[in-house]
A and B are shown apart, each in its own frame.
Chain A
Amino acid sequence: MANFYSDVPEIKFELENPLMERIVELKERGYREKDEYAEAPQDFADAMDSYEKVMDIVGDITANVVAPNAEAVDAEGPHCENGRVRYAEKTYENMEAMRQAGLNGLTMPRKYDGMNMPITVYTCANEIVSTGDAGFENIWSLQDCIETLYEFGTEEQHARFIPRVCAGETMSMDLTEPDAGSDLQSVMLKATFDEENNCWRLNGSKRFITNGDSDIHLVLARSEAGTRDGRGLSMFIYDKRDGGVDVRRIENKLGIHGSPTCELVYKNAKAELCGSTKLGLIKYVMALMNGARLGIAAQSVGLSQAAYNEAVAYANDRKQFGKAIITFPAVFEMISNIKAKLDAGRALLYQTARYVDIYKALDDIARERKLTPEERQEQKKYAKLADAFTPLAKGMNSEYANQNGYDCIQVHGGSGFMLEYACQRIYRDARITSIYEGTTQLQVVAAIRYVTTGLYSQVIADYEQVECKPEYQGYMNRIKAMAEKFNADVEMVKATGNQELLDICARHLYEEAANIIMCHLLLQNTNKAPELFAKSMNVYMNHAESECAKHHNFVNSIDAEQIEAYRK
């Protein structure tokens, strides 16, 4: 039987990264729960064995329940009835399978019925589910909103809400409004304190809310009357059991049909504060967003894997001129590029997840005790790396998912344009990944300071010190040459002192940095497991080199005077 985990050895390879030992040690606090919970690991090897076994369940359900349901879910989509969402029929089957398998609240503490798994492991699950159905992955993966409630909510809130999520209740994050999309500072949903009932009341509307009829909502609302910027916004928890929020309509979308995108109306809805007032946007949404962006990066990698699977299957099956089309260079070149982007993007995804894991685990420990000076330093280092890598992982993987979906259809030729093959759904589903949770353009905005401060250059310099086998030294030299050009490009643009020029060059510098970093990560993987990555290394090296040359040329061709030619 197909299994979307065990069929893809590259995922297991990422799960077995050496950094995992530190992550699990921190997350399990030296395995202190081993006698308290029957399912808690005894040691590192035991934990890894458990993660693998649980991923095998995810791979099984995804391949044998979620993926076979994807076509029907895509065709039916959710319905809005009397202010409530009714999912496509098969979505309930997917949700029930996930609930029975206990695959909710993976990262939450055991005392709240979670499994205390690292975010890296959760990211694996996320990727796998997305390969089966990216639309369903949206509904399922919104469970990670609970991370934010765990980070900033009170203990009493933890005890009330976390077990419900672990039992399979769904979540949503209600941020966007008709006039507040990328610019969340403009959120106007009104939160007023109801003295009589000692609770908050929400009034107004939200738009484009993924899974907007969920059981537990995190809502961004304006608690400070008279303010107009981000400092007047707070984060609230709305419990559907209390009522007061209705779904006005469900959007008709290009893709991810299984996932209901809702317009919500809040009519004096009872809510409770999460954390402190005024920190809603500037602190909590930022945390929420970083988690969500990692989620979209995983969703994108899952889609790329799906695109690869479909392209290979079709190209082996389809015969033209008496031969399977996969034997033609024009076709296998396309497919090998899909695979190379998939492998490089996946390496970036999991490196990011590991960085997030370490700093978040240390953050969590800091809530129990004071960190040692070494731990504080470690926390700071990885928090910064996570912040720098998240926009790279999200931006690049979502763009790759789009490119891979496009190429997957191209491999199918005319049949790919018909609605009978899965490739068209993958292509449509991928389209949103480079838009929601911050467009690629906003990922560039989040990343550019790490270009100009030299953090990426430093990371690249560090990666150049990683041991490399003699047979792969040629790749290392080529990556070093790319890095030299990148560093020169950054210095040159910075030296102009022209902010607008920097903004125009930003995407190019961002992609240069991302390509170089992915080359390094793929090279590190190739050194350890050439049987899995050597081919992709070769293909990606050629691809990245030509991409970097393109960006280098652009940055060196443009100057301040030319900006007018671009301005509309």
Chain B
Amino acid sequence: MSLKIVVLAKQVPDTRNVGPDAMTPEGTVNRAALPAIFNPEDLNALEQALRLKDANPGSTVTVVTMGPGRAAEIIREAMYRGADGGYLLTDRAFAGADTLATSYAISTAIKYIGDDVDLIIGGRQAIDGDTAQVGPQVAEKLGLNQITYTEEILSCKDGKIVVKRHIDGGVETVETALPVVLTVNGSAAPCRPRNAKRVMKFKRALCPMELAPGTTYADLPYADQYEKKPYLKLGQLTCADVNADLNQCGLAGSPTKVKNVENIVFKAKESKVLTGSDEDINGLIQELLANHTIG
């Protein structure tokens, strides 16, 4: 059975390697100081999609990502690992979106891709916002079943999927009918590496948004390649392409308002010196148990 799979992925600032200049004085993320990376749990999601593709010949994996031109890097990175192609969802009207407006925009893109999508797979959450809301909201907007906290897809056949979920205190195995939205945990199988031949094949793939203003593919180096190899022109969708309601997009469609941002500075008030003796270690453990830091 061939499957039509959409992977939702986001380019995020690498908040795992935060330096002293990670925040601006105003308390917002200093994107310039943090490298832009593939959201880690979206890579776990991509791996699940690619495994389904491996097991079901003829399946396609299409990446959807929302962001400015440079976010197209996410589509290339996914193609290097095995995805067939993707769309950059990009429009000024999408800017400033909270999770509600984002999931609306993404759901319109999925409708654009087709009503025959079997699976929509995304990471549990992005490391810049940590809300874990977009996946479930996309499912709601499309009226689809959803399985969150996916650890592993155990089987997917005859229109049914069986998934192992990682939940508090254990695992749960659930079954549902396709089409379905899955969100995948970071503890699921890590994503496969970039493949050398695919990197060489797709390294020049570009979205129109990435071209210098006023230029076309014909102005690029190796311009003939874009004519000969259509897959080098990556998909791009604007608000108009997906027929989105402007009132539900971007800032206009975002009920979330940031009321206040506070800078938290951790300051150690006191310190204690312990030796490596059993007595000191026992004392520390008792203390940590008592104040519920552990246990």
Contact = CB atoms under 8 A, between A and B. Distances in A.
Contact of A49 (B193, B203, B225, B229): B203
Interface stretch (B60-68, B152-160, B194-202): B194-202
A103 B196 contact: yes
A100 B198 CA distance: 11
A40 B194 CA distance: 17
Contact of A38 (B193, B196, B201): B201
Contact of A53 (B199, B222, B225): B199
A340 to B, nearest CB: 32
A102 B196 contact: yes
A446 interface: no
Contacts of A74: none
A57 B199 contact: yes
A65 B190 CA distance: 11
B222 A46 contact: yes
Interface string A25-67: 0000000000100111110001001100110010011000100
A115 B222 contact: no
B193 A50 contact: no
Contacts of B197: 39, 102, 115
B192 interface: yes
Contacts of B192: 97, 100-101
B206 to A, nearest CB: 15
A39 B201 contact: yes
A115 B192 CA distance: 20
Interface string B117-151: 00000000000000000000000000000000000
A46 B198 CA distance: 15
Interface in B178-200: 192-200
Contacts of A46: 222
B177 to A, nearest CB: 31
Given A42-B225, A46-B222, A54 B196 contact: yes
B229 A50 contact: no
Contacts of B203: 49-50, 53
A232 to B, nearest CB: 42
A46 B201 CA distance: 11
B203 to A, nearest CB: 6
A35 B193 CA distance: 27
B196 A115 contact: yes
Interface in B275-292: none
Contacts of A49: 203
A54 B199 CA distance: 8
Nearest to B202: A38
B193 A42 contact: no
Most buried by A among B198, B200, B201, B222: B200
Given A42-B222, A49-B203, A57 B229 contact: no
Given A38-B229, A42-B222, A42-B225, A101 B200 contact: no
B16 to A, nearest CB: 9
B194 A101 contact: yes
Contacts, number: 50
A60 B193 contact: yes
B84 to A, nearest CB: 14
Contacts of A57: 193-196, 199
A354 B246 CA distance: 60
Nearest to B16: A1
B201 A61 contact: no
B200 A97 contact: no
B195 A101 contact: yes
A40 B225 CA distance: 12
Contacts of A35: 228
Contacts of B222: 42, 46
A262 B195 CA distance: 32
A50 B198 CA distance: 11
A468 to B, nearest CB: 35
A101 B229 contact: no
A101 B196 CA distance: 6
B189 to A, nearest CB: 11
B19 to A, nearest CB: 15
Contacts of A102: 195-198
A249 B79 CA distance: 44
A69 B193 CA distance: 16
Contacts of B199: 50, 53-54, 57
Interface in A498-513: none
A564 B222 CA distance: 71
A408 B196 CA distance: 34
Interface string A124-143: 00000000000000000000
Contact of B193 (A41, A53, A100, A115): A100
Nearest to A45: B221
Interface string A375-392: 000000000000000000
Contacts of B225: 42
A50 B200 contact: yes
A431 to B, nearest CB: 31
A39 B200 contact: yes
Contacts of A103: 196
Contacts of A115: 196-197, 200
Interface string B255-278: 000000000000000000000000
Nearest to B81: A100
Interface string B202-243: 010000000000000000001001001100000000000000
Interface in A3-30: none
Given A42-B222, A42-B225, A46-B222, A100 B195 contact: yes
Nearest to B17: A1
A157 B170 CA distance: 53
Nearest to B35: A1
A40 B228 CA distance: 14
Contacts of B193: 57, 60-61, 65, 97, 100-101
A100 B196 CA distance: 9
Contacts of B198: 39, 102
B62 to A, nearest CB: 19
A19 B201 CA distance: 25
A162 to B, nearest CB: 15
B200 A53 contact: yes
A65 B194 CA distance: 13
A61 B196 CA distance: 12
Interface string B99-126: 0000000000000000000000000000
Contacts of A100: 192-193, 195
Nearest to A117: B196
B231 to A, nearest CB: 9
A394 to B, nearest CB: 27
A42 B228 CA distance: 13
A472 to B, nearest CB: 36
Contacts of B229: 38
B46 to A, nearest CB: 13
A57 B77 CA distance: 12
B191 to A, nearest CB: 10
Contacts of B195: 57, 100-102
26 contacts: A38-B200, A38-B201, A38-B229, A39-B198, A39-B201, A42-B222, A42-B225, A46-B222, A49-B203, A50-B200, A50-B203, A53-B200, A54-B196, A54-B200, A57-B195, A57-B199, A60-B194, A61-B193, A97-B192, A97-B193, A101-B192, A101-B194, A101-B196, A102-B198, A103-B196, A115-B200
Given A42-B222, A53-B200, A102-B197, 12 more contacts: A35-B228, A39-B197, A39-B201, A40-B200, A42-B225, A50-B203, A53-B199, A57-B196, A61-B193, A100-B193, A115-B196, A115-B200
Interface of B: 192-201, 203, 222, 225, 228-229
The 9 tightest CB contacts between A and B, nearest first, are A39-B200, A102-B196, A38-B201, A101-B193, A100-B192, A50-B200, A54-B196, A39-B197, A39-B201
